[in-house]
Structure 1
């Protein structure tokens, strides 16, 4: 595993957890108690992880496979883009093995200052940025499970001291009642919304301090929204392809990956008008997010020889609106149950 990515993930988990602790202490002091986070990256190729609470210790564990798979995927995407450009520049047929060892250099001007770049270095930096977006989204989703009270509510209902919430799908979900499964996927929706909200704030921060925080040549500040959407859409495409989770059913603990992405995209676009940015920036960021998500599908389909098209998939599936409305409606019941255990304000909490 790349040490830079591992360090970034560890630091991010700690920083957001510490920030949330300060927020709780200041704005919800009646919910605050001294707790600590134990975060672990487990050496395991399987794409999975889990979150749980054990008295005053909160736990998040993700498998190293989550990090390695996405970094390798994004590197492959960017390498194909590089090869396409090289074929145009060289204007002759070359084998992929030959192209793999090649890169191209150039000069761009920013504010009249010439900047020399090497495509190999730029692509590696982009691949790491995209992996950081995905891994931060995943761990922030798990923090949402913890701080919004999901873990402790489920532990209380199962009458166990701890209760694990797996990152993805559970082998024993068939043993759950339909009501338990609905509770789970409603909380998964809430954790996705939490991760999206925090993730968008992070992207906005990178945009506002781009030169110091990003430092990737051949990228403009506004492009950070494109690459965020490209990364998160790619994450759910990989999940959809790997888990073949297209079917809606009453025992599912997570909505299908394409349904989750549509709800995340809607949340992200709904957040833009709330930020203290110009109308022109809001319009630009919206376009960049949609463009990044669309091109993520195109790249994935080209590499995997698939035909994913989220809008057609959703439009043609009558169950989508039924299940989306169900979790949105069920949220009011879940919110009343979570109030005892949540440490943060819940969505639409009065």
Structure 2
């Protein structure tokens, strides 16, 4: 990050949990960037390094678009994450929790907030990025916002890791054949599936009984409600930034794949936590809520525009996966999904 970003710029952003952007210890420190860097680099060392012997480094890029990339170099692996992934997701969820009682246990907590305006200049920016948002005053609302931002940020990072470990980078770099649009969409679907599976394994199940979050949500249903709501909001953000040349899937199709994958993972690995029927109800209701909450701050989200392709295109992608998976085998470092 630029040296002109001082602690004073973020003095009102002090968070509550280890997932906060700013912590006071006792002086303010910008801890969020270090947290996610340590998260993925330690995860790599503890789980994946024996599969792929090169060291991995997370590098922050001074851009505000919610995006990332992965580079495979001779001596190391670089996961590149835009700083906007961190700033934007905290901003969005702080805004939402400042104004909406997203679950019953916080309906009686105050909807008061601090208005924050933060101008950030990058070397190549002609106009400063103006970072406007509301910071909730209520401790429980702030905690929920920090957990939800954490879910989304980890997903973006794990998605890039999926591109590497599932062999996408190797296949593309090999140049053995020219990939078509549906191939890139299929690879995005596969990277998403890797990210959601890992997120559930290494985070969702591990913090399920975390007393900090449970004091806020007070039930398994509400815990999954904030998780799925965070995923819906993330995909809306990604869709608003999706250009006509983008390899990303349209948001609605991305939701279908990801939330089906999440449901399968939860049912398979922890079938006693929550029923399939309740998961479906939560997924459907939080999709509608995500559109409402996001629209309140960033303009109307046209539901029809999210469906850029007929949902039958999901069948085409699944059929294409069966063919593409065979080509990925020589480059993959983990077991590919069926």
TM range (shorter): 0.7 to 0.9
The match for 1:232 is 231
The match for 1:146 is 164
The match for 1:18 is 45
Task: After TM superposition, give the deviation of residue 129 of structure 1 in Å.
Answer: 1.1
Q: Does 1:185 align with 2:185?
A: yes
Task: After TM superposition, give the deviation of residue 81 of structure 1 in Å.
Answer: 2.4
Q: Does 1:130 align with 2:148?
A: yes
SS at match of 2:248: coil
Aligned positions of 1:110-259 closer than 5 A: 120-157=138-175, 179-201=179-201, 202-207=203-208, 209-211=209-211, 214-215=212-213, 217-222=215-220, 223-243=222-242, 253-259=247-253
Q: Does 1:59 align with 2:58?
A: no
* Counterpart-to-counterpart distance in 2, 1:225 and 1:308: 25
SS at match of 2:311: helix
* Counterpart-to-counterpart distance in 2, 1:224 and 1:4: 25
Task: After TM superposition, give the deviation of residue 203 of structure 1 in Å.
Answer: 1.1
Task: After TM superposition, give the deviation of residue 309 of structure 1 in Å.
Answer: 3.7
SS at match of 1:205: coil
* Counterpart-to-counterpart distance in 1, 2:254 and 2:34: 28
Aligned positions of 1:312-323 closer than 5 A: 314=307, 319-323=309-313
Q: Would you say the 8 A contact 2:159–2:191 is kept in 1?
A: yes
Larger Rg: 1
Q: Does 1:73 align with 2:74?
A: no
Residues 157-214 of structure 1, C-alpha deviation per residue, up to 9 Å, x if partnerless? 179xxxxxxxxxxxxxxxxx6x43222221111001111111222212211x322xx4
For the aligned residues, what is the CA RMSD? 3.2
- Counterpart pick for 2:321 among 305, 311, 331: 331
Answer 1 or 2: higher relative contact order, Cα 8 Å, separation at least 6. 1
Task: After TM superposition, give the deviation of residue 18 of structure 1 in Å.
Answer: 2.6
Task: After TM superposition, give the deviation of residue 221 of structure 1 in Å.
Answer: 4.7
* Counterpart-to-counterpart distance in 2, 1:345 and 1:67: 30
Distance change in 2, residues 1:205/1:292 (3 Å):
farther
* Counterpart-to-counterpart distance in 2, 1:53 and 1:304: 36
SS at match of 1:321: coil
Unaligned runs of 5+ in 2: 1-20, 23-29, 116-135
SS at match of 1:218: helix
Q: Would you say the 8 A contact 2:250–2:306 is kept in 1?
A: no
Residues 19-62 of structure 1, C-alpha deviation per residue, up to 9 Å, x if partnerless? 4326xx4xxxxxx3522101111232233221121135211011
* Counterpart-to-counterpart distance in 2, 1:342 and 1:127: 35
* Counterpart-to-counterpart distance in 1, 2:274 and 2:239: 34
Q: Kindly tell me the number of residue pairs found equivalent between the two proteins.
A: 284
SS at match of 2:330: coil
Q: TM-score under structure 1 normalisation?
A: 0.71
Distance change in 2, residues 1:33/1:4 (3 Å):
closer
